[in-house]
Structure 1
Amino acid sequence: MKAFVAGATGETGRRIVQELVARNIPVRALVRDIEAARTILPPDAELVVGDVLNPQSLTTALGDSTVVLCATGAKPSLDPTGPYKVDFEGTKNLVDVAKAKGIEHFVLVTSLCVSQFFHPLNLFWLILVWKKQAEEYLQKSGLNYTIVRPGGLKNEDNADAIVMQGADTLFEGSIPRQKVAQVCVEALFKLVAHHKIVEIVAKPEASPKSFEELFQQC
């Protein structure tokens, strides 16, 4: 297995890279600025320059990767096209290149509540709408996929147990980014995670379960 991570220097993406490196899985991390990325990512990660909005750069950047993990996301800005470009067009480009290269598994991180049009997050240039469009494009691609929809993201890890449910069943809650990274990497190893949308939060009162059990129940 060789993993390609898009959004590698973002808060969630960098934790996915760290998790992969900790498991001795070779990583190609997609970055736009190698020097800046070196200060963020583990030295064992192979840094490749490219941009999800430039499909040609993705073909080269993917190289000999066998799985893809996508944790890109538009940053809040005054550009009304940001979520469309990053969350939909960029993911679409990555799915197309992954399909052309015969990628074995595509893990996409989106968000809780993507199916709720009247959610406050959609005030940010319809970001949930475009994430949902990206999900549907991946689902129709024919690729083996796992779509991970986390609740509100926390930078600090905690001891809370992961709660995982199927699509459109969790509507509130938060989760540390470290746990999101663990779920994404575990999905690569679990047959029961194939062709699934999983929604995840973390709760102190929840009973801890194995990842096999968590994915099985979705």
Structure 2
Amino acid sequence: MANVLVLGANGKIAKLAEAQLLVETDHRLTLFLRRANRLTISNPDREQVIDGDVLDQAQLEKAMANQDIVYANLGNRDIERQAQTVVAAMKATGVKRLIWISTLGIYDEVPGNFGKWNHQMLDGGYLETYSAAAKVIEASGLDYTIIRPAWLSNNDIVSYEFTQKGDAFKGTEVSRRSIADVVVKLINDPTKEIGHSIGVNQPHTDGDRRPSFY
């Protein structure tokens, strides 16, 4: 059993991962988010909810007490500052294992016309800030894994493959349920993919333009 702190616990991927963790494991979950009344827990014996701001280091440090793993499902234009605060709080509390959700394209690793389209869609404040946040995580000295999903669908499918940093990104899309499954597997075996930045896509979705649903 592990104690897992979920940051951004009302996110779509986070909620899928939380549900899967409750069914498949005996881990205890601390769910950290703003406006905590948006979230309804199903198992009060294994879930606690904390209303807080991830940019408040003191709140984060309090939430990190006795945690084994931090899973960060964060995002917006403050993502670099969020990364800095999460890293500082983890160092202050001695928590080492971090699972961090990012996005494809932060290393300019998406090839071909799809890569050009991805830049057109995400440049101008998104890719730049997510890339800066990844640099913070990579320089942290923590036992991190960065997850870089392809474009996200709501398809009810679990099917994925990995590429590593330095590899050309494969595929154009992946389901949120697949990313949740990746998170759950990393929580269940926290020794996997330490220090790695993994691209995650659904096999056989390669294309030269854009995801099938766009």
Q: Is 1:6 equivalent to 2:7 in the alignment? A: yes
Structure 2, unaligned stretches of length 5 or more? 110-115, 207-214
Go from structure 1 to structure 2 and tell me whether the alpha carbon gap of 1:25 and 1:170 turns closer, same or farther (over 3 Å shift): same
Find the counterpart in structure 2 of residue 195 from structure 1: 195
Q: CA deviation at 1:60?
A: 1.6
State the distance in 2 between where 1:201 and 1:122 align.
Answer: 18
Q: CA deviation at 1:19?
A: 2.4
Go from structure 1 to structure 2 and tell me whether the alpha carbon gap of 1:192 and 1:62 turns closer, same or farther (over 3 Å shift): closer
Match 2:65 to one of 57, 63, 66: 63
For 1:145, what is the secondary structure of its paired residue?
strand
Would the aligned equivalents of 2:72 and 2:100 in 1 still touch at CA under 8 Å? yes
Would the aligned equivalents of 1:121 and 1:127 in 2 still touch at CA under 8 Å? no
Find the counterpart in structure 1 of residue 34 from structure 2: 32
State the distance in 2 between where 1:37 and 1:190 align.
Answer: 26
Structure 1, unaligned stretches of length 5 or more? 75-82, 207-218
Q: CA deviation at 1:16?
A: 2.1
For 1:20, what is the secondary structure of its paired residue?
helix
Find the counterpart in structure 1 of residue 210 from structure 2: none
- The 5-angstrom pairing of residues 93-132 of structure 1 reads 93-116=85-108, 119-123=119-123, 125-132=124-131
Give, as a single letter, the amino acid of the residue that structure 2 aligns with 1:13. Answer: A
Q: CA deviation at 1:183?
A: 0.7
Q: CA deviation at 1:12?
A: 1.2
Structure 1 residue runs of 4 or more that deviate by more than 3 Å after TM superposition: 41-44
Go from structure 1 to structure 2 and tell me whether the alpha carbon gap of 1:156 and 1:45 turns closer, same or farther (over 3 Å shift): farther
Give, as a single letter, the amino acid of the residue that structure 1 aligns with 2:55. Answer: L
Q: Is 1:53 equivalent to 2:55 in the alignment? A: yes
Find the counterpart in structure 2 of residue 214 from structure 1: none
Is 91-100 or 12-21 further displaced after alignment?
12-21
Find the counterpart in structure 2 of residue 144 from structure 1: 143
TM-score, length basis structure 1: 0.80
| Deviation string, structure 1 residues 144-186 (Cα, Å, up to 9, x no partner) | 0111100011123225x31111125215411111110111221
State the distance in 2 between where 1:205 and 1:112 align.
Answer: 14
**CA-atom RMSD in angstroms:** 2.2
